[in-house]
Amino acid sequence: MTESERSNAHLLEEIERLRTENSKLRDELDAERCSSNMDKLPMSLDEFKRYGRQMIVDETEGLKGQLKLKNSSVLVVGAGGLGCPSLPYLAGAGIGKIGIVDNDIVDTSNLHRQVLHDSTKVGMFKCESAKQVLNKLNPHVSVTTYPVRLSNANAFDIFEDYDVILDCTDTPMARYLISDVAVNLGKPVVSASALRTEGQLSIFNFANSGPCYRCFYPTPPAPTSVSSCQEGGVLGPCVGLVGVAMVVETLKLLLGVYTIENFKPFLLQYSGFPDQTLRKFKMRGRREDCPASGSNKTVTRKAIESGEIDYHSFCGSRNYNVLKEDDRITVKKFEEEYRNSSNNKPYFLLDVRPSLHYSISHLPDTHNITVNELRDLQPELEELQTKIPHISKDSEVLVICRYGNDSQLATQLLKDKFKLKDVRDIKGGFFKYIDEINPSLPKY
């Protein structure tokens, strides 16, 4: 081996030694980097995997947006037809903290649309039932329940901890209260409603400069013109779609998609029939003279919490009790003296529910005619006889409806308009009859 060959071999050996050392150092460095990375990861690996499919959508701005959602909080008021579809999507999306306010309990008649609940949960608080589902769906989300009725007294304390409020309630009274409290606390409200096959959705008090519920609706509607789902009915998927749409708007708020510059007040109107449409109406901005969000506000926190703002009297309530006690009969008396009596005295039983209600279930030997049909008739007995043959001014007439409200209006009409002498309404209606006399009849 020559001198130069020996030197080469030495150099090669040296290079190999350095290579090994370098690779070892690299490994150590990687391990160090890796462990410090683990400490610095803003979410768990499970969360990366869980939210991956939404983080790679441009609109969410990836990890940055996901962290915004993780650090945000949303309060859902009402775990019913709108709350049920919105809650799992909020939890699924990884909103860090979700609050649910509802003091109602699950009823079988809710389940066709309130699909977060189920048959085994009838009788349970809706907010608790919802929480169970959300905890299973996403353990990274903290869920707080408030099994109370939202009121002037408790609303501020509950709202304070949340960034966005979802109004999933079902009365004008609750809607005014939620909007007023949110305006006072400077929080945006995603507000929706639905009935039958239609729904509406708006954002109120956006960035403390957008219109509030009172700006859109300064005067509450007459209580007689407000229909509930119980009364007017509702299709599950129609209210469901609107609830899901609320979450899309909530995500836009939390991700900062809406800005002072680009936000324009709107009302989305969804129709399920005859063709499905989602229309966007351009709406007015704040009302300068709005008592809640205008320049001279009177709907302050103090005025709300002290009860000075009285939502009951502002929105009013219906007064159905138009009849004297003599003009009414209890279901028990009705059963004893008419249905189950041996004296067989002739009488007419008028069921004044809408025909779809009547077709679901009704008592035998009844005539179905609605209050509006009675109103449309000319005020003559002969007219009434075209609908109810052989009825006369001296006939004994009993009137029944679902809960005993419309039957009072009909009783009054029969007396005043057709001059019938002996008309009485059945107190509490068909449902009371089913509850107290014959539970084997279908209630709906």
Partner 1 sequence: MVRLTVEFLGGLDVIVKKQRQYKVDVKVDGKEEIDVGDLIQWIVANLIEHERDVNVFLENDSIRPGILTLINDTDWELEGEKEYVLEDGDVISFTSTLHGG
Distance from chain centroid for Cα 171? 10
For 415, counting Cβ atoms within 10 Å of its Cβ (0-12 exposed, 13-18 middle, 19+ buried), the class is middle
130 touches 100 (CB < 8 A):
yes
- State the pairing for strand pair 198-204/189-195: antiparallel
406 touches 433 (CB < 8 A):
no
Residue 110 assigned ligand-binding role: yes
Residue 109 assigned ligand-binding role: yes
309 touches 180 (CB < 8 A):
yes
CB closer to partner 1, 217 vs 306 = 217
CB closer to partner 1, 8 vs 355 = 355
Which residues belong to the active site? 229, 401
Residue 327 assigned ligand-binding role: no
74 touches 166 (CB < 8 A):
yes
Residue 183: CB partners within 8 Å, gap ≥ 6? 204, 205, 208, 212, 292, 293, 299
Residue 215 assigned ligand-binding role: yes
Closest CB 439 distance from partner 1, rounded Å: 28
Q: Biggest alpha carbon distance in the chain?
A: 139
CB closer to partner 1, 96 vs 220 = 220
Residue 126 assigned ligand-binding role: yes
Q: Which strands sit side by side in the sheet containing 396-400, from one edge to the other? A: 328-329, 422-426, 396-400, 348-351, 367-368
Binding residues (CB under 8 A) for partner 1: these are: 78, 80-83, 167-172, 175, 192-196, 198-200, 216-222, 225-229, 232, 234, 239, 267, 269, 271, 274, 279-284, 372, 375-376
CB closer to partner 1, 18 vs 273 = 273
Closest CB 109 distance from partner 1, rounded Å: 13
Residue 259 assigned ligand-binding role: no
Closest CB 287 distance from partner 1, rounded Å: 9
Closest CB 379 distance from partner 1, rounded Å: 13
* Joined tokens for residue 356: 């779809």
CB closer to partner 1, 331 vs 414 = 414
Closest CB 280 distance from partner 1, rounded Å: 7
Distance CA 292, CA 306 (A): 16
Binding site: what residues are annotated? 81, 102, 109-113, 126, 170-171, 212, 215, 290
The annotation places the binding site for Zn(2+) at 212, 215, 290
Binding site for ATP: which residues? 81, 102, 109-113, 126, 170-171
